[in-house]
Amino acid sequence: MVEKMEKKLIKLALEARKKSYAPYSNFLVGAALLCKNGEIYTGCNIENAAFTPTNCAERTAIFKAVSEGNTQFDKIAIVGGKKDAQSLDYCTPCGVCRQVMTEFVDVDNFQIILAKNENEYKVYSLNELFPLNFGPKDL
Ligand code: THU
């Protein structure tokens, strides 16, 4: 049976989460971004002693894709939670990541998969999580 793309992305996000560098918050996040051409980019959060340079998992994945010439995205899976958590709760993208997504996607069709694990997940459009967004269409 062909594995559902959602499950594949969640699995990859969980793998990416293992690479999280989060010594200050101990909140580990992983993301897996599916591009329209089928390529997948993963990312983790990367913290910094000066705090503000911290980059979220979602933006790490998006910036990796854009820097490789991929700017057309279909969906992203996100998993996150404390390092020592027995199970994960849903982790929603921060406002900065929602704004960065808005730059590149069709807000009505881009899917954000929030997952606890491969079997428990919820799917939202970016517009549902970030209504009245300001993006390229507004300039
Ligand atoms: N973080 C993410 O990477 N993505 C999210 O969706 C929420 C927050 C990171 C930033 C920081 O390293 C840690 O989680 C705690 O805020």
Asked whether the predicted pLDDT for residue 32 surpasses 60, the reply is yes
Closest ligand 1 atom to the C-alpha of 92?
Answer: 6
DSSP, res 39: -
Give the confidence band of 54 by pLDDT, cuts at 50, 70, 90. very high
Asked whether the predicted pLDDT for residue 44 surpasses 80, the reply is yes
pLDDT in tens, 75-129: 999 999 999 999 999 999 999 999 999 999 999 999 999 999 999 999 999 999 9
Asked whether the predicted pLDDT for residue 2 surpasses 70, the reply is no
**Using a 6 Å cutoff on CB, does residue 42 contact ligand 1?**
no
Distance 27 CA to ligand 1 centre (A): 7
Mean pLDDT of 29-47: 98
Q: What per-residue confidence (pLDDT) applies to 131?
A: 98
Q: Do 34 and 9 contact (CB within 8 A), yes or no?
A: yes
Mean pLDDT of 15-22: 98
> For the chain, what percent of residues have pLDDT higher than 70?
98
**Using a 6 Å cutoff on CB, does residue 74 contact ligand 1?**
no
Query: Which of helix, strand or coil describes residue 98?
Result: helix
Q: What per-residue confidence (pLDDT) applies to 7?
A: 98
**Using a 6 Å cutoff on CB, does residue 58 contact ligand 1?**
yes
Asked whether the predicted pLDDT for residue 1 surpasses 80, the reply is no
Q: In the predicted model, what is the mean pLDDT of the chain?
A: 97
How many CB atoms lie under 10 A from the CB of residue 10? 25
Mutate to test the pocket of ligand 1, among 94, 98, 112 (most ligand atoms within 8 A of CB): 94
Residue type, 7: K
Mean pLDDT of 55-64: 99
How many CB atoms lie under 10 A from the CB of residue 136? 8
